[in-house]
Amino acid sequence: MTAFSLNPEQTARCDRLRELAEERLRPLAEAHAEAHAETYADKKEPGRVNRPLTEALGELGLLEGLFTSGALDLCLMRESLARVCTEAETALALQGLGAHPVHAYGSLEQREHWLPPTRAGRAIAAFALSEPGAGSDAAALALRAEPDGSGGWRLTGEKSWISNAPEADFYTVFARTSPDAGARGVTAFLVPADRPGLTGAPLDMLSPHPIGTLAFDGVRVSTADVLGDVNHGFRVAMTTLNRFRPSVGAFAVGMAQAALDATLAHTADRDAFGGKLKDLQAVSHQVAEMATRTEAARLLVYAAAAAYDRDEPDIAGRAAMAKLFATETAQFVVDTAVQLHGARALRRGHLLEHLYREVRAPRIYEGASEVQRAVIAKELYGKETPSA
Ligand SMILES: Cc1cc2nc3c(=O)[nH]c(=O)nc-3n(C[C@H](O)[C@H](O)[C@H](O)COP(=O)(O)OP(=O)(O)OC[C@H]3O[C@@H](n4cnc5c(N)ncnc54)[C@H](O)[C@@H]3O)c2cc1C
C-alpha cells in the first residue's frame, strides 16, 4: 500500500528507460523526422509509421511489457518514454491499443499468428473504432457487417481517425452485426490489412501523427476473424479503452514533466533585467505552479492505475479523473513553458514547439475531456446522493 511514492526499484526502472529512450529511440525518431522534414514543413505529406522505431521498441522488450505489465507499470513506461521521446511513446501505445483485443479476446490461432510479430515490432497494429458519424458516441457506429450467406460477413463502410492507418498490418475493427441494437449489436473483428476491398488514406494532422481513414468495400470476414463473441464487440472496445485510460494521463504527465524540466533549465540560465529569469518572482511562481499541478496529475494517474491493478470498484471514475486532469494539466504546463521561453519556443524543431502540437490531441481522443466529466458525474450521482 502506498499513498503515493514509487519504490526504489520502480524509480530505477524509469531512470533506465529514459536512458534507453535517449540512446536508442530518440535518434530513430529524429532520423525519421529529418527524412520527412521538408514534406512535413510544407504540409505535403502526413505522418508515417516509423517501423525502425517500433522494431527498436520490440528489441528492447518494451512491447512485450505491454502485455505483461499491470496498469501502473504501463503508466511508468508511458510517462518515462514521453519525457524523452513522444514518438516512441505513441508507437508503443498504439501497438497496445491495436493488439490488446487480440491478446485478451483472440483465439489461440489469432494470438499465435499476430502477437509474436506485434511484440517484436514487425507487425503494426491499429484499433479501428471511430467513424465519420461516430466519435464520442461510439455506440452509434455504422460500419455494416452483413451475412455473406456462408456463415461469414461482408464489411461495408468507413472508419476515420485511425492511428497507424492505412499502414498497419492488421486492424481490430468494430462493426455492426445487429442493426438498431446500439452497443449490443457490435462485433469486433481482426482484419489483416491485405484483405481484398480494404483501402485507406493518410490524414495530415497538426502533429505528424501516423493516422488515416479506412474504406471497406465488401471486405470478407469469417467466424475465425471474430474477437470475443458476436454482438459483444462493444465490451472488447470498452475494456481495451479502460485499460489504457490512466496511461493516456501518464503520457500527458511525461510531456508536462519534459516541459517543466526545460523551463527550469531555461529560466535559470536566461539573463534578464540584471539577473536571471528565475529571479523574477512572477516567473518562479509560475514554475512552482507548473510543478505542483504536474505532481498532482501524476498522483491521480498512479492512484487510478494502482486501483485498476487491485480491481477496486470505482475504477471508471478514477481513471476518468486521471485522464481528464492530466491531459488538461499538460496543456497548461506546456503552454506556460512556451510563454516562459519566449520566441525560441515557437521555432520549428524546438522541444516546446513539438510538445505544443503533441499535447493537444489527448484531450480529444480516448474520450474527450467532456466525456470524462460525464463519466465522473455519472459515478457521483450513481452513488447514494446525500440529502440536502
Ligand atoms: C491524434 C488522434 C488519434 C486518434 N486515434 C484513434 C484510433 O486509433 N482509433 C480510433 O478509433 N479513433 C481514434 N481517434 C478518434 C478519437 O477517438 C475521436 O476523435 C474522439 O472519440 C472524439 O470523436 P470526434 O472527433 O468525432 O468528436 P465528436 O464526438 O464529434 O465530439 C466533438 C466535441 O464535442 C464535445 N462532446 C462530445 N461528446 C460530449 C458529451 N457527451 N458531453 C459533452 N460534450 C461532448 C467534446 O468537446 C468533443 O471534443 C483519434 C483522434 C485523434 C485526434
What is the location of CATH 1.20.140.10 in the chain?
235-382
Helix axes 315-341, 369-382, angle to 10 degrees: 140
Q: How far is CA 122 from the centre of its chain?
A: 19
Compute the distance between CA of residue 295 and CA of residue 63 in angstroms, rounded to an integer.
27
Q: What is the pLDDT of residue 35?
A: 85
Q: Is the peptide bond prior to 4 cis by the omega test (within 30 degrees of 0)?
A: yes
Q: Could you give the residue ranges of the DSSP H alpha helices within 106-191?
A: 108-120
* Angle at alpha carbon of residue 96, lines to 63 and 62, rounded to 5°: 15
What is the location of CATH 1.10.540.10 in the chain?
8-120
Closest atom, ligand 1, to C-alpha of 364: 49
213 CA distance to ligand 1 middle (Å): 14
Strands 211-221 and 153-163: what pairing? antiparallel
Closest atom, ligand 1, to C-alpha of 159: 11
Say whether pLDDT at 39 is over 60: no
262 CA distance to ligand 1 middle (Å): 30
Q: Select which of 87, 131, 358, 366 is catalytic.
A: 366
48 CA distance to ligand 1 middle (Å): 21
Structure confidence by residue, pLDDT tens digits, 348-378? 999 999 999 999 999 999 999 999 999 999 9
Say whether pLDDT at 268 is over 60: yes
Question: Residue 40: which pLDDT band, with cuts at 50, 70 and 90?
Answer: low
Say whether pLDDT at 42 is over 90: no
Say whether pLDDT at 114 is over 70: yes
Question: Residue 41: which pLDDT band, with cuts at 50, 70 and 90?
Answer: low
Question: Residue 2: which pLDDT band, with cuts at 50, 70 and 90?
Answer: low
Q: What is the pLDDT of residue 50?
A: 97
Say whether pLDDT at 7 is over 90: yes
Q: Between 3 and 235, whose confidence is greater?
A: 235
361 CA distance to ligand 1 middle (Å): 9
Pocket of ligand 1 (CB under 6 A): 127-130, 135-136, 161-163, 209, 211, 361, 364-365, 368, 370-371, 374
Mutation probe of ligand 1 site: the residue of 127, 136, 207, 245 with most atoms within 8 A of C-beta: 136
Question: Residue 284: which pLDDT band, with cuts at 50, 70 and 90?
Answer: very high
Q: What is the pLDDT of residue 45?
A: 65
Q: What is the pLDDT of residue 387?
A: 63
Closest atom, ligand 1, to C-alpha of 134: 26
Question: Residue 304: which pLDDT band, with cuts at 50, 70 and 90?
Answer: very high
Compute the distance between CA of residue 202 and CA of residue 204 in angstroms, rounded to an integer.
7
Q: Grid coordinates representing 96?
A: 497496445
Q: What is the mean pLDDT of residues 259-288?
A: 98
| Phi, psi (rounded to 5 degrees) for 199 | -130, 170
Average pLDDT in the chain: 95
* 109 among known catalytic residues: no
Q: What is the pLDDT of residue 87?
A: 96
Say whether pLDDT at 381 is over 90: yes
Say whether pLDDT at 1 is over 80: no
> Residues in the chain, how many?
388
Question: Residue 46: which pLDDT band, with cuts at 50, 70 and 90?
Answer: confident
Q: What is the mean pLDDT of residues 39-63?
A: 84
Structure confidence by residue, pLDDT tens digits, 194-246? 999 999 999 999 998 999 999 999 999 999 999 999 999 999 999 999 999 99
Q: Grid coordinates representing 30?
A: 529524429
Say whether pLDDT at 382 is over 80: yes
271 CA distance to ligand 1 middle (Å): 43
Q: What is the mean pLDDT of residues 311-328?
A: 95
CATH of domain 235-382: 1.20.140.10
Question: Residue 384: which pLDDT band, with cuts at 50, 70 and 90?
Answer: low
| Phi, psi (rounded to 5 degrees) for 27 | -60, -35
First vs last C-alpha separation in the chain: 35
CATH of domain 8-120: 1.10.540.10
Say whether pLDDT at 386 is over 90: no
Domain covering 125-234 assigned CATH 2.40.110.10 in the classification:
yes
Closest atom, ligand 1, to C-alpha of 361: 53
Residues whose CB is less than 8 angstroms from the CB of residue 387 and which lie 6 or more positions away in sequence, other chains included:
none
Q: What is the mean pLDDT of residues 37-56?
A: 77
- Portion of the chain with pLDDT greater than 90, in percent: 91
Which of 45-49, 276-280, 309-313 has the least mean pLDDT?
A: 45-49
Say whether pLDDT at 146 is over 70: yes
Say whether pLDDT at 345 is over 70: yes
Q: Whose CA is nearest to atom 7 of ligand 1?
A: 162
Q: What is the mean pLDDT of residues 281-292?
A: 98
